[in-house]
Amino acid sequence: MSEEIRGIPELDKVIHEKGRLAILSQLKVNAEMSFSELKKELSLSDGNLSVHIKNLESAGYVSTCKSFRNKRPLTTCQMTSLGNKSFDQYLKALENLIVHLKNN
């Protein structure tokens, strides 16, 4: 959708991609998740997950923290307040789309 269609707002293209939607869905219900946890839950490759996280981070939707646990690198991800707001708006836009389609 390039612009509003009959009052339905455009869906956020950053969130709308399946992998990024899945990441944000996980972070919505888990305050913080490690890269490894996300990889396992979503069955994504290291490279694919890394690219999606970078896109979400560039949009300001997630933040990452790099540290060490037991002398091993640990990357954790959290949804930002902007990410939380944008995710909620995205879900509302989907609900509006469904209602619109049911009524037509």
Report whether 62 contacts 27 (CB < 8 A): yes
Which of 6, 4, 3, 27 is closest to 15 using CA atoms?
27
Query: Which has the higher per-residue pLDDT, 16 or 101?
Result: 16
Copy the structure tokens of residue 82: 């902007």
pTM of the complete model = 0.87
Which of 49, 65, 63 is closest to 17 using CA atoms?
49
Whether the per-residue pLDDT at 102 is higher than 50: the answer is yes
Query: Which has the higher per-residue pLDDT, 96 or 16?
Result: 16
Q: What does the alpha-carbon distance between residue 8 and residue 39 come to, in Å, rounded to a whole number? A: 33
pLDDT of residue 3: 46
Query: Which has the higher per-residue pLDDT, 77 or 97?
Result: 77
% of the chain surpassing 70 pLDDT: 91
Multiple choice CATH, 13-103, 3.30.420.40, 1.10.3720.10, 3.30.200.20, 1.10.10.10: 1.10.10.10
